[in-house]
Structure 1
Amino acid sequence: MTTDRTHLPLVLTRELRDLADTRHQHARAALSGSEVRVGRGAYISRGEWDELGDLDRYRLRLVAFARTRKHSPLFSHQSAAVLHGNPLIGAVPDRIHVTVGSTSGGRSARGVVAHSREVGFEDIVEMDGLRSTSALRTAIDLAATAPRADAVVAADHLVRNGSPRLALLEAWLRAQPMRGHRRAQEVIAFADARAESPLESVSRVSMHTGGVPQPALQVPYSDSAGLIGRVDFAWPALGMVGEADGDAKYLNADLRGGRSAERVVLDEKVGEDRLRALGLRVVRWRWSTAIDPTALAGHLAAAGLPVDHRIGWGDCCA
């Protein structure tokens, strides 16, 4: 559940009007543990803070940062990704990312990364009173600067939710000149709307890096009893299919479609048996394997899939 971060009782010391309520009192309260210092001159009660998850705590930090600055900051990169609700790999960002004009002279400071570049008005949006780069521009910035897996997760999420690749290319053009433009172009080419989860996106990146043959995505299989289902990855010519197993499909009730976790496991077992009856080899892996290209390539090779770094992936990664 996401908290409305704009209506939390955030105390800003610069707005204090009661002479009995001073910044020193709030500083002492933070030292004693009854309050939490969210940012420079911004505090919240310990009880309110403890009720927030990591993402909402980070969002509150963005609110505190914006409300304690003379000019409204433009959040970008990982910070904008959080504001847009993009899926994340690993931990919530530990630093705040803002973009400043290329001639503004802005500098990074402790806990804040200032990216010096120009952003046109068409790539700026406002969400809950906070200025941010648009979803498209955010994906381009991440594609140019973030680790490849993080960048592909963001790009896949965007095209899966209805943004055409052409829109990404147009945002890329508006962002020029920019460092990492070639990396960003490659991520745009690699993006695929058929990736249904961050785990599938990360798996695809690791396959490409690890020399695994290019898979087909979301391939349906049927037998005499009807549709078995769609598999995450398939190598039809090699008689192999792959499934990336995340915890969410067992633990998240919304993804189970009214079934119990035990029922999900049993249904998968039946489906896998039907796939094997078609003569297919079925291989599964989890996050710990997917995130490591060498581990995933070795896992697939052990299941019989040839691994060769000399084999390209066609036009997707040109």
Structure 2
Amino acid sequence: MRPRVAAFMASQNGLVLRRQARQAGMTSDAIDRLVAGGEWVAVRRGVYATAVLWESLDVHVGRPLLRARAASRNMLVPHVMSHDSAALAHGLPILAAAPELVHITRFGVVGSRTKHGVKHHRAPHRPEQLVEIDGIWTLDRARTAVDIAREHGLRHGLAACDSALRLGVSRADLWEAVAPMTCWPYVTVAREAVELADHRADNVAESLTRLLVLELGVGPVEPQFGLRDGSRVAWCDVRVGRHVVEFDGRLKYRPATQGGVATVDPELIRWREKRRQDWICGFQLGMSRITWADVQPHRWEATKRRVLREYDATRARYGTSIADLAPYVISAA
């Protein structure tokens, strides 16, 4: 590889623009041969990375982020990275939207358009909301989280705001980001996401689980409800009354060799989960278990009906007060 091309890639997250490669002395035919031969990958039209880099990136974060950076570096109009693309740059866990788009915000009045897989937002922002990440100007985490709420709705917005709080953004920062959006589209969704946000959600799945239980309207909802009895400790994702709701992801049952996180026999993990559930329910608590499929939009209402039915059964059997559990309850910070 030509030294100047390697230098461009080294300073641009592994990317080189076609016009930069030409400036470095490569011909169009040489570039096309590298792509056709599988040595380079066209991340976007006119923007390339090595196949080695591309194959090393995961499909959920690494590749979408590289595509966003490729689009940004290839643009001539003044802009900043925003919304989902900014979240990826910040390492902010979010609920992926479909279709996957690159999001940038341009200077001007409120409005937007989508072209060639890039959504151009025209919304004002303050200079102090800008941060530079790997050479690309990007809206900060607070503004990014509330923008996602306005753009995609409460499911996405709550997950983004929870993540922002978990990574050190304050609720005051989120409210400050929302404040200028007085008459902006869907600002009420952003306000609701900020109001409901909670740093105790460990991940996007727990954010969705809490939202589902909140929509039942059956009482105060507590994330990360902890119990201990001197011999063991357990944390439950969500509690309402004497009922807990646990999210089960398949990754914890799948061996690491198959893309999961299990480091022991999955059968042993299932046995431990059964014993854990027995121990929790031994405190006279009911339990619902939900999976990723259960919180998808087309299953959302059916899951709510099931969880409400299970909650009602727990309430009928044990009531709702947990005053008797005071010696065993531990609180998340």
Partners in 1 of 2:172 and 2:155 — Cα distance? 21
Question: Which residue is 1:10 aligned to?
Answer: 15
Query: Which structure 1 residue ranges, 5 or more long, are not aligned?
Result: 307-318
Pick from 120, 124, 148 the counterpart of residue 126 of structure 2. Answer: 120
Question: Which residue is 2:57 aligned to?
Answer: 52
Distance 1:217 1:10, change over 3 A: closer
- On the 8 A contact 1:77/1:141 being kept in 2, the answer is yes
Pick from 34, 37, 42 the counterpart of residue 37 of structure 1. Answer: 42
Pairing of 1:105-116 with structure 2 (within 5 A): 108-116=114-122
Distance 1:144 1:289, change over 3 A: same
Q: Secondary structure at the match of 1:118?
A: coil
Distance 1:294 1:125, change over 3 A: same
Distance 1:108 1:235, change over 3 A: closer
Question: Which residue is 1:191 aligned to?
Answer: 197
Pairing of 1:20-169 with structure 2 (within 5 A): 21-27=26-32, 29-30=34-35, 34-54=39-59, 55-71=61-77, 73-90=79-96, 94-102=100-108, 108-169=114-175
Q: Secondary structure at the match of 1:113?
A: strand
Deviations 1:117-160 (A, max 9, x none): 11110111101111110001001111212132111111011112
Question: Which residue is 1:242 aligned to?
Answer: 245
- On the 8 A contact 1:140/1:172 being kept in 2, the answer is yes
Partners in 2 of 1:26 and 1:50 — Cα distance? 19
Pick from 211, 233, 236 the counterpart of residue 231 of structure 1. Answer: 236
Distance 1:18 1:216, change over 3 A: closer
Q: Secondary structure at the match of 1:296?
A: helix
Deviation at 1:29, TM superposition (A): 4.9
Partners in 1 of 2:98 and 2:214 — Cα distance? 26
Pairing of 1:270-309 with structure 2 (within 5 A): 270-291=275-296, 292-305=299-312
Count of aligned positions: 299
- On the 8 A contact 1:13/1:22 being kept in 2, the answer is no
Query: Which structure 2 residue ranges, 5 or more long, are not aligned?
Result: 1-8, 314-333
Deviations 1:269-298 (A, max 9, x none): 222222222222222111111333213213
- Which stretch has the larger CA shift, 56-65 or 191-200? 56-65
Deviations 1:161-195 (A, max 9, x none): 33221121111114445222111111111111222
Q: Secondary structure at the match of 1:303?
A: helix
Partners in 2 of 1:42 and 1:277 — Cα distance? 58
Distance 1:212 1:107, change over 3 A: same
Question: Which residue is 1:316 aligned to?
Answer: none
- Which stretch has the larger CA shift, 117-126 or 58-67? 58-67
Partners in 2 of 1:22 and 1:212 — Cα distance? 67
Distance 1:293 1:209, change over 3 A: farther
Deviation at 1:206, TM superposition (A): 2.3
Residue type matched to 2:289 in 1? R
Question: Which residue is 1:313 aligned to?
Answer: none
Partners in 2 of 1:261 and 1:59 — Cα distance? 32
Partners in 1 of 2:68 and 2:10 — Cα distance? 10
User: Kindly, what percent of the aligned residue pairs are identical?
Assistant: 28
Deviations 1:59-113 (A, max 9, x none): 2223322332335530101111111112233468622111011259985322111
Q: Secondary structure at the match of 1:282?
A: strand
Distance 1:173 1:105, change over 3 A: closer
Partners in 1 of 2:233 and 2:17 — Cα distance? 57
Q: TM-score, normalised by structure 1?
A: 0.80
Q: TM-score, normalised by structure 2?
A: 0.77
Higher relative contact order (CA 8 A, sep 6+): 1
